[in-house]
Amino acid sequence: MAALGALRSCWAPARLLTGSAHHSNRLVLCQQTSIKRHFSNNKILVELDEATGVAVMKMKNPPVNSLSLDFLTEFSITLEKLEMDRGCRGLILTSASPKIFSAGLDIMEMCGKSAEHYGEFWRAVQEMWLKLYGSNMVTIAAINGSSPAGGCLMALCCDYRIMADNPKYAIGLNETQLGIVAPFWFKDTMSNVVGNRVTEQALQLGQMFPAPEALKFGLVDQLVPEEKVQSTAASVMAQWLTVPDHARQITKSMMRKQTTDKLVNNREADIKNFVSFITRDSIQKSLQVYMERLRQRKQ
């Protein structure tokens, strides 16, 4: 899928070469009046800078940016729009409200609902992952807060991760702490970043890594002061965008295709598996207990 996309998107370097006069005119214009396009809805704010070809996507689903069915649907639609946009080469993913990048999947979507709902929800989770992990754009996670489970997955899907240097913020796949299990494609995504040994231990323990630990284990690439997360993401992006798109995209696809194909070829079975797992009484009970613990912690 990504390979086809990569070939389809080989236009970028050619456009830069053949259209250089036009491009540099446009750059001059942009230096004077930076042209920014907005694609916002009520859950996601996007600002696409036409001069740089970089979109900043801010998740805005208070209070904790949980990944509800509605949010995931909006997310995938927005990502698809940017993917199809020839003017967009890079994506910076971040949170509109610092302190929480994303609390992961919305637990309420997995509690007390019908099997049909669980199926629809899980398909939306798969879709988000396929689109983000398989993106042809350069993707950078600007992690400006805590990022458990599905939030960590989103960050791991990106090509590069910059996290706010604050030990109060933690990131990790903590599913076992909820009495649930990270599916094989969550596991593969993490393993592709930090390796099998770290993943095996972290997943069994449902470990959340405070920012300094996350850097030590390679879960994130860089820690910077909180106020510099966005600007660092922009400068790292500028470096990545110096590489010709077609070469980088084909390389990315070559590295990720085996992982994405595993889900693409097993999507229905994976949904069935999720539905049969999540509808078990024991799992429903675990999730309820976990939500209760969260509420009590707050009190």
Please identify every residue annotated as catalytic.
Answer: 105, 150, 174-175
Question: Which residue's CB is nearer to ligand LYEYTBR6, number 182 or number 214?
Answer: 182
Tell whether residue 104 is a contact of ligand LYEYTBR6 (CB under 6 A): yes
Question: Which residue's CB is nearer to ligand LYEYTBR6, number 38 or number 298?
Answer: 298
Candidates 142, 148, 188, 190: give the one binding ligand LYEYTBR6 (CB under 6 A): 148
Site for ligand LYEYTBR6 in 38-67 (CB under 6 A): 63-64, 66
Tell whether residue 95 is a contact of ligand LYEYTBR6 (CB under 6 A): no
Burial 61-88 (b: 16+ CB within 10 A, else e): beebbbbbbebbebbbebbeebbebeeb
What is the C-alpha R_g of the chain?
A: 19
User: In 3-state terms, what secondary structure has residue 59?
Assistant: strand
**Region class of 103: left (phi > 0), else alpha (psi between -120 and 50), else beta:** alpha
- Tally of helices (H runs) and strands (E runs) in the chain: 13, 11
Q: Which position's Cβ is nearest ligand LYEYTBR6?
A: 104
Tell whether residue 294 is a contact of ligand LYEYTBR6 (CB under 6 A): yes
C-alpha span between 159 and 136 (Å, rounded): 10
C-alpha span between 16 and 19 (Å, rounded): 5
Question: Which residue's CB is nearer to ligand LYEYTBR6, number 175 or number 245?
Answer: 175
Q: What is the distance of C-alpha 262 from the center of its chain?
A: 19
Question: Which residue's CB is nearer to ligand LYEYTBR6, number 188 or number 245?
Answer: 188
Which one of the spans 11-19, 219-227, 232-240, 288-296 is the region binding ligand LYEYTBR6 (CB under 6 A)? Answer: 288-296
Burial 137-154 (b: 16+ CB within 10 A, else e): bbbbbbbbbbbbbbbbbb
Q: How far is the CB of 63 from ligand LYEYTBR6 (least distance, A)?
A: 5
Backbone angles phi, psi at 195, to 5 degrees: 95, 165
Question: Which residue's CB is nearer to ligand LYEYTBR6, number 90 or number 183?
Answer: 183
Q: How far is the CB of 241 from ligand LYEYTBR6 (least distance, A)?
A: 31
User: What one-letter code names the amino acid at 41?
Assistant: N
C-alpha span between 146 and 100 (Å, rounded): 5
Candidates 82, 141, 149, 229: give the one binding ligand LYEYTBR6 (CB under 6 A): 149
Tell whether residue 100 is a contact of ligand LYEYTBR6 (CB under 6 A): yes
Which one of the spans 17-25, 129-137, 243-251, 274-282 is the region binding ligand LYEYTBR6 (CB under 6 A)? Answer: 274-282
Q: How far is the CB of 187 from ligand LYEYTBR6 (least distance, A)?
A: 10
User: What one-letter code names the amino acid at 40?
Assistant: S
Burial of 272 (0-12, 13-18, 19+ CB in 10 A): middle
* Interface residue list for ligand LYEYTBR6 (CB under 6 A): 63-64, 66, 100, 103-108, 146, 148-150, 174-175, 178, 180-183, 273-274, 277-278, 291, 294-295, 298
